[in-house]
Structure 1
Amino acid sequence: MSAPKPFKLFPQRPDRTRYRRVSDRFVRRVKCSGGEALAVDHAGLVLLAAEAFSDLAFYLRPAFLKRIRAIVDDPRASDNERFVAGAILRNAAIAGEGVLPLCQDTGSAQVVGFKGHRVLTDGRDEEALTSGLRDVYRKRNLRYSLVAPLSVFEEANTGTNLPAQVDLLASEGEEYHFYFMAKGGGSSNKTALFQESKALLEEKKLEAFLAEHVRALGVAACPPYRLAVVLGGLSPEMTMKTVKLASAGFLDSLPTRGKKSGIAFRDAEWEGRLAKIAEETGLGAQFGGRFLVHEARFIRLPRHAGSCPVGIGVSCNADRNCRGKITAEGLFIEQLEKDPGRFLEGIPSGSTPGATAVDLDRPIAEILRDLSALPVGTMVRLSGPLVVARDIAHARIWKMFKETGRLPDYFKNHPVYYAGPAKTPRGMASGSFGPTTAQRMDGYLPALMAAGASKITLAKGNRSPKVVEACREHGGFFLGTIGGAAALIAKEHIIRSEVIDFADLGMEAVRRIVVKDLPAFLIYDDKGGDLYKK
């Protein structure tokens, strides 16, 4: 009887990735169990992880940059989209200098490894990979974003950006392959699982389902996105893992047709439909238009007859994903774009001659008066002081307000920017500095506005209806700044930065920054106006 053919649930074509060799050391062939095996030194795994996460902080895939440039050149794109796409490319060029990372949220470190059965290590692979990426976060101008639970409610920043998520799997052969990802919180928060049934497997029902949930993604996770939808799965965990890998571009070479044996496959027709659904939301690349996504992936998986899980997720425009491998020839990392400036050819410098200048260095009542004269959708250039406060600072201020009825004067006298920096490089005013998701502060805002604070806020993404109503009722405004341009903002728009409260919170401390010509868009106004309904 002949041996059964090996079955792969995720069959992929041979790897066509372009790699660069990191080192030809740390590997050697050895005799093992009557044959040859590949021995990999502990130091080789350390070096590979360090190279991967160093590259991911500063560089992007050339194919991604090409698609962003295509938005700039597309006559169908809105003016706002072309401006955002140009800013993303300028941000990539600045980050490509290797000092300011692409995004202020330098991400949680995630590694998936596929270890061939004839690859030998000392068994401490997770320790080695973690050691390599720890060095990157410690030595480069990155941010520590991870918090550890000390009790059910008490947390503290780990101060290392560890632990990392490291998943190591067995595979066939004498090579060791890796997926490396630096995943920010904003895009992670848009990942969703829906437990559906076979009733969803009708064309019109599926289209309606996708239309509802793609619109619900909003723009807070820094589009244009690579959008992934996974239909089916042998477990919810399989569905969501497939969403993660598909949104990172690691499953692009799956087959395009299914088999009775039950394999994963991409459906090109539904990818086209998914892209069209995203376009029809009108949300666009952050401030209206058609390019909410630059790519769509629709993957079908086998499922239990009594279950139909559906997963949806995105990779933001800080598309920090790359492959790695270890072979007998050495250590290799996917070749990312080291000259992103070439995608800027023919694009204006980024000046905003049509934007309305707004001087922030004056009483808040005067700023409110000037904003009230502008229609929603107006681009403004902000110059002057801003107060920077995000999640933990808001939680502390809210607790103080509930206990004492008092609020800091800086919340009443200045616009409040929901943002935070990465580490500040020597000789610069700030590290990479960008907005966080505004919706996370929505629970506080109506009461703060009623108390005369936070009348003007800045961040990224659309907000809840109660914020729109609070702006109308209390004479407030919400301005959107570009998500995915943190290096650009730090280098070209922040003049000064100082901590003014809660210094113990590190990157979550309250800061006072001074900006020059910071571009923003008027999203919600004091009359109930809403850019996304315009």
Structure 2
Amino acid sequence: MPEFAYTDLLPQGEDTTPYRLVTSEGVSTFEADGRTFLKVEPEALRKLAEEAIHDIQHYLRPAHLAQLRRIIDDPEASGNDKFVALDLLKNANIAAAGVLPMCQDTGTAIVMGKRGQNVLTEGGDESALSRGIYDAYKNLNLRYSQMAPLTMWEEKNTGSNLPAQIELYATDGGAYKFLFMAKGGGSANKSFLYQETKAVLNEGSMMKFLEEKIRSLGTAACPPYHLAIVVGGTSAEYALKTAKYASAHYLDEIPAEGSELGHGFRDKDLEEKVFELTQKIGIGAQFGGKYFCHDVRVVRLPRHGASCPVAIAVSCSADRQAVAKITAEGVFLEQLETDPARFLPETTDDHLDESGDVVRIDLNQPMDDILAELTKYPVKTRLSLSGPLVVARDIAHAKIKERLDAGEEMPQYLKDHPVYYAGPAKTPRATRPAPSARPRPAVWTPTSSSSRRRAAPR
């Protein structure tokens, strides 16, 4: 047996994150027992959480925005790739105004914290962080998505987007460090665990396995993705959690090589090969092309000899996360990009449309005529829809199913109009129409062109 030696499972390298000062209040130091302690007040935690949720709902990292611009500038990118990338850059600019969030699904608030042994609080850190999250969702135009189980079958929206998922750990040092995430249902639903064996631990088998699983991700979580793959893990849940953190680029600075001590590492060579694979499968940025992914992270972890978990996770186009820290100097939050306009190209939609054709569909006609028109065009065709749509999401679909199960007829408006899969969200005060001008609750008439499209066939 070798001599005892300890290693972190995921040793972190140097932190090169750019930070901004949130506040210096609520933070102080004192001396005791020959040590310097950092005292953090509950208000400092509350303020940090509120600021973090605000920023990740409205701002993106510069690197993510640069990747969108790279798609537009790439001559090998498809017209649909470029169309999606430009729309996402426009969306980022709208969100950066601080009124509308970057995505209608404003996610589950997730906080992971590591408190150094020289950091003291009053206790109840989860409560203080939750209050900050509560305040952000209350004061901003963010949707409440959390469902409280009343019984096994009955649920009720909590009306605050709480509870948040908060996990706090003890570590060395005199700082309190955090990762804040807002994880939407679409990307969370694309987290997968596969219990494999050593048979996949060779390049040929692994690449064949990954191609099948990556294709199965589909486009429902809004690519281009930040794709993360974890091979191994001391447990199934640790593999999945590592994949989530890797998709957020939280593990970018872990070692690039393994050792006999058993710590995890990034396999940058396999990252490049998997990234090339994603560019060749043809799905692209939702509707056919090259950019199914922005990048890939592959993490290899130690494993029990009888187990080989493989976890896959994505961060979607609403790439919402930020790191933070509390030190003796104050409360700091990752500096995200507040001026995404600098990534926009000097061009127009027409220049980005290779075919020059967008099929216009008038929804003010019988459904049979709409379907007849749609069948003339292949999947991945860009559409401009004009006319009434029914807006319905999970709860509405469940209610309709209840009616059908009870022997009632399908509502006629669902037969007469396309259904746009969307949910309710807050409307900013300045943009609310007068009561007499509001449309019927179930039907929405778009004022600008949009479409609902599937991915290109394999």
TM bucket, shorter chain: over 0.9
1:377 is displaced (CA, Å) by 3.0
1:247 and 1:400 map into 2 onto residues whose CA distance is 41
2:255 and 2:4 map into 1 onto residues whose CA distance is 21
1:421 is displaced (CA, Å) by 3.6
Distance verdict in 2 for CA 1:261–1:372, change over 3 Å: closer
Q: Deviations over 1:10-56 (max 9, x none)?
A: 11211000000001111111123332100011100000000000101
What pairs with 1:111-510 in structure 2 (closer than 5 Å)? 111-348=111-348, 354-428=357-431, 498=439, 500=441
Q: Is the 8 A contact 1:92 1:340 kept in 2?
A: yes
Tell me whether 407-416 or 120-129 shows the greater mean CA deviation: 407-416
Q: Deviations over 1:50-98 (max 9, x none)?
A: 0000101111000100011100110110000000000000000000000
Aligned length: 450
1:383 is displaced (CA, Å) by 1.3
1:521 and 1:378 map into 2 onto residues whose CA distance is 10
1:497 and 1:346 map into 2 onto residues whose CA distance is 36
Q: Which residue in 2 is equivalent to 1:37?
A: 37
2:34 and 2:453 map into 1 onto residues whose CA distance is 70
Tell me whether 388-397 or 375-384 shows the greater mean CA deviation: 375-384
Letter in 2 for 1:110: I
Q: Which residue in 2 is equivalent to 1:110?
A: 110
Q: Which residue in 1 is equivalent to 2:457?
A: 532
Distance verdict in 2 for CA 1:349–1:25, change over 3 Å: farther
Q: Is the 8 A contact 2:83 2:349 kept in 1?
A: no
Q: Which residue in 2 is equivalent to 1:81?
A: 81
Q: Is the 8 A contact 2:53 2:180 kept in 1?
A: yes
Q: TM-score scaled to structure 1, two decimals? A: 0.81
SS for the counterpart of 2:168 is strand
Distance verdict in 2 for CA 1:28–1:350, change over 3 Å: farther
1:518 is displaced (CA, Å) by 2.1
Gaps of 5+ in 2: none
Q: Is the 8 A contact 1:110 1:165 kept in 2?
A: yes
2:220 and 2:274 map into 1 onto residues whose CA distance is 19
1:303 and 1:497 map into 2 onto residues whose CA distance is 58
Letter in 2 for 1:22: V
Letter in 2 for 1:335: Q
Q: Is the 8 A contact 1:210 1:277 kept in 2?
A: no
SS for the counterpart of 1:397 is helix
2:61 and 2:104 map into 1 onto residues whose CA distance is 19
Letter in 2 for 1:365: D
Q: Which residue in 2 is equivalent to 1:512?
A: 443
Q: Which residue in 1 is equivalent to 2:71?
A: 71
1:190 is displaced (CA, Å) by 0.7
1:317 is displaced (CA, Å) by 0.7
Letter in 2 for 1:16: T
Q: Structure 1 vs Structure 2: percent identity of aligned residues?
A: 49
Letter in 2 for 1:340: P
Q: Which residue in 2 is equivalent to 1:506?
A: none
SS for the counterpart of 2:181 is strand
SS for the counterpart of 1:518 is coil
Q: Which residue in 2 is equivalent to 1:94?
A: 94
1:373 and 1:213 map into 2 onto residues whose CA distance is 31
2:314 and 2:12 map into 1 onto residues whose CA distance is 21
Higher relative contact order (CA 8 A, sep 6+): 2
1:348 is displaced (CA, Å) by 1.8
1:234 is displaced (CA, Å) by 0.8
1:521 and 1:388 map into 2 onto residues whose CA distance is 12
Letter in 2 for 1:169: Y
SS for the counterpart of 1:43 is helix
SS for the counterpart of 2:7 is coil
SS for the counterpart of 1:187 is helix
2:408 and 2:83 map into 1 onto residues whose CA distance is 42
1:522 is displaced (CA, Å) by 5.4
1:306 and 1:110 map into 2 onto residues whose CA distance is 32
1:333 and 1:67 map into 2 onto residues whose CA distance is 22
1:5 is displaced (CA, Å) by 6.4
1:180 and 1:60 map into 2 onto residues whose CA distance is 13
Indicate the RMSD between aligned Cα atoms, in angstroms.
1.8
SS for the counterpart of 2:81 is helix
Q: Is the 8 A contact 2:6 2:261 kept in 1?
A: no
1:300 and 1:138 map into 2 onto residues whose CA distance is 40
Q: Is the 8 A contact 1:375 1:522 kept in 2?
A: no
Distance verdict in 2 for CA 1:18–1:89, change over 3 Å: same
SS for the counterpart of 1:392 is helix
1:175 and 1:193 map into 2 onto residues whose CA distance is 33
SS for the counterpart of 2:431 is coil
1:349 is displaced (CA, Å) by 5.5
SS for the counterpart of 2:331 is strand
Q: Is the 8 A contact 2:287 2:453 kept in 1?
A: no
Q: Deviations over 1:399-456 (max 9, x none)?
A: 10121241111101111111124210113259xxxxxxxxxxxxxxxxxxxxxxxxxx
SS for the counterpart of 2:387 is strand
Q: Is the 8 A contact 2:69 2:345 kept in 1?
A: no
2:139 and 2:150 map into 1 onto residues whose CA distance is 27
1:516 is displaced (CA, Å) by 2.9
